[in-house]
Chain A
Amino acid sequence: MAGPYGIDDAIVSYAGSSINAHITKTYPTVSQEVEIEEHTPLGATVAQSLFTGLTTYGEVPISGPYTETVDGILGAAARNKTTAALVITWGGTKTTTFSAVGVKNYNRIVAKGAVTAYEATFFTYFGCTVTEA
């Protein structure tokens, strides 16, 4: 068994470069959900479902301290509506690669007693493929 892994093993790469240094508060969550539809035949005593064939990858949120550097990467992507590859290395050689993600939300928060922060949310863009390796 390889692992267990912690945040010291994780790498998040966006557009070919690691953005680990910018992720300090909200670490990425990759949610994978297979869509199903209930089809319970007459006479059945247990509810049954069928796969519809579509897999949904939830939006991937990250956050950390706001800097000019992160604004140039993620803020620019949100404002310009560009897409890029997102690769998450969980640990060892285990990776999840999204071939094309967009930035749906990009927030900047200035608050008393806190470091000015950014929040960004990735979504799977049209034509995106997801590769588990």
Chain B
Amino acid sequence: MAGLPDLKFITFGGYDITGLVQGLNDAVTNETEEVDVAGDTILTSRYVGSAAAEVKITGFYDEDLSPAFEAAGAEAVLMYAPLGNGTGLSCECCSAKLLRYERLIEGKALHKAEIDFLGKSSTATGGAVIIDHALMLAPLAARGAAGNTDATDVEAPAQTTDGARLWVAVTALTLGGYTNLTVALRDSADGLSFAAVAGGSTTFTTAGGKMLYVPGTVRKYTSVSWAWTGTGTNPSATFVAALKRL
């Protein structure tokens, strides 16, 4: 069982908005249409093919985080972990469009905020997605020198040949002179020998969130690596990476 204390992080683009959240409600709604015809004795319905996902957040107004929501029609990757921040735990991910940002000033109370997002459905790559129920390969944490999570890989029941979606959110980034940060998906058939997955890397020069469709085969065991391009000193990045197998 989980509660608010287990909702360890929520990121919107490059913003970690965890500190303002007091409640979260996400909903997947499938549109249906009644399809009973002559001869039917029971009213039945069919999915009509359209679905919607909304994520509603309530909490405190935060002036430092407010810019994340102030831009009209803001869109960014939204990621949140309702059951804790750890490798292999679920991470809900979506490309979210900001629908409503309400700031409330009330008597005898702290300023509050209400934020509504709409999960965008995209069929451009990897099929339609509203809210991906992904698994964390790298929990939200600060990382410095290049490395990987091979030692704490996430095991799936089997490999997939239908590709996957890699979701990454970077909430803090110090390049230290390096050109960019590269986060890449790795896989293995035996959990011992890992290799980069073709088409499974993405780069960051600033904090932000990305969804990458990785086509083809993703083997049974997966992890991520991070590396710095160019030269510099003392780089650091706070990021989370999660994978949704298709």
Contacts and interface: CB of A to CB of B under 8 A. Distances in A.
Interface of A: 35, 53-57, 65-68, 71, 75-76, 78-79, 81, 102-116, 123-130
Given A103-B30, A104-B32, A79 B133 contact: yes
B28 A56 contact: no
Interface string B16-40: 0000001111111110100110001
Contact of B82 (A106, A108, A113): A108
Closest 7 CB pairs of A and B: A110-B24, A107-B27, A116-B2, A56-B43, A126-B46, A111-B23, A81-B47
Contacts of A65: 1-2
B116 to A, nearest CB: 14
Nearest to A83: B47
Interface of B: 1-4, 6-7, 22-30, 32, 35-36, 40-47, 51, 82-83, 90, 130-131, 133
Contacts of A127: 44
> Secondary structure at chain B's binding surface: helix, strand, loop or mixed?
strand
B26 A107 contact: yes
Contact of A126 (B35, B51, B133): B35
Nearest to B58: A111
A95 to B, nearest CB: 17
Most buried by B among A56, A111, A128: A111
B43 A116 contact: no
A115 B27 contact: no
Contact of A71 (B29, B51, B90): B90
Contacts of A128: 42, 44
Nearest to B132: A79
Given A105-B30, A124-B43, A115 B1 contact: yes
5 contacts: A66-B2, A75-B28, A102-B32, A110-B25, A111-B23
Nearest to B51: A81
A132 to B, nearest CB: 12
A39 B28 CA distance: 41
A106 B130 CA distance: 13
Given A81-B30, A105-B29, A107-B25, A68 B44 contact: no
Nearest to A109: B25
A107 B56 CA distance: 11
